[in-house]
Every structure is written in structure tokens, then in C-alpha cells.
Amino acid sequence: MRLDLQPGIELASGRFTIIAGPPQIQLQLLIMAASTRFLTLYLYGTTSRILYRLPRGIGGVEVQSSCTAHQLLQVIREVSATVVLVEYDEEMFAALDDDQRLLIEEIGQALHDLAERSSALVTLTTLRFDRIMTTIARYADCVVVYADLPDEAESGQGRAQPGPQRVQAQRTLAGGW
């Protein structure tokens, strides 16, 4: 199974992908997953930035909340869905200190293992990266980061739509000495 989020960004079965971007991207992903015939599980922490934005009448998604990182880990280890979407909740991890770094690594490993073991499409969505997301990202097969493109209001073209971050290659010694 695969979902094409945007041209060039394909989410596939058996892969653990992290997507960092605005809630609209996360919502688009959830709606696409819900429209498939596959069992979709949406996991979130104590609050969700996405669920209240879902159109009425959308079905095909099982929703589950995890109040602690330990609960999230337990659910990930027991899940049997084909599509698993996890919304990162900073507050859930805020209480963890550096001594509990192993728990964060276990969550990253469990998400990767879930994708590999059950050929599930596993995606963790976040608004931004922090130290915890950086740790979990080590276990991801793919990381997609959306960023606002430069504001084109000066050129009269309006505001650019958010898209995948494009990094321009540095030209070393351009034009000679």
C-alpha cells in the first residue's frame, strides 16, 4: 500500500516516516488514509491539533489517545492496523528527563519495528523538531520536513504555499578567486 502525499513524496507499507509540517499536511494525510480500504489507527497524546478539523462523516479511522509515553509505547507494540498515524504531542514527553532517554529510543525502535514486522505504513507527524523528535528520527526510514518558502509578497505573487524544504547547494569558489 502507498499514499502519495505530494509529487515526489510517497509513503509506503513497511516504512516508518516522520513528517514535520503544518497541521494542514497532517490533516491531508489522515483524510487520505481514511479513504483507503485499510484499517487505519490514529494515535495522539492528551490533545490533538488535527481531529477537530476532520470533515463530518469521515470514517474508516480508529482513534486512540495515549496520555503518557509508556502508554504510547504499549499501544505501538500491540497494534495490528495497516496504516498507523501518530501525532506527536510535546506535552506527553515534557515530563521525561534525560535519564529516560532509553524510553524515547524504545518508541522510535517500536515504530520502526511495527512498519517492518507487519508491513504497515507508519507515520509520525509533528509541527517541528525538538530533541525528542531528533532521537526518534534516528529510527525512521524517511524524514520529510515542510517549511514556508520565502515570502513572495514583495514580488506581487502572494504568499507561497508550504512545501517540502528545498536546500540549495552551495557553490564553492563560484566565479574563481
CATH of the domain at 67: 3.40.50.300
Longest dimension (CA), the chain: 64
Whole-Å CA distances, 77 to 44, 66, 74, 96, 99: 15, 13, 5, 20, 22
Phi-psi region of 51 (alpha: psi -120 to 50; beta: other; left: phi over 0): alpha
Hey, which bits of 68-170 come out as E strands? 83-87, 121-126, 142-147, 163-164
Cβ atoms of 146 and 19 closer than 8 Å:
yes
Q: In the predicted model, what is the mean pLDDT of residues 108-119?
A: 95
Pairing of strands 2-6, 9-12: antiparallel
What pLDDT is recorded for position 76? 95
What pLDDT is recorded for position 148? 63
Single-letter residue type at 161: Q
Predicted confidence (pLDDT) per residue in 45-93, tens digit = 988 988 888 887 777 788 999 999 999 999 999 998 999 999 999 888 8
The total number of structural domains in the chain stands at 1
Neighbours of 149 (CB within 10 A): 14
Question: Residue 39 domain-assigned?
Answer: yes
Give the domain range for residue 133. 2-147
Residue 122 has pLDDT above 60, yes or no: yes
Percent over 70 (pLDDT), the chain: 82
Question: Residue 111 domain-assigned?
Answer: yes
What pLDDT is recorded for position 121? 94
What pLDDT is recorded for position 164? 52
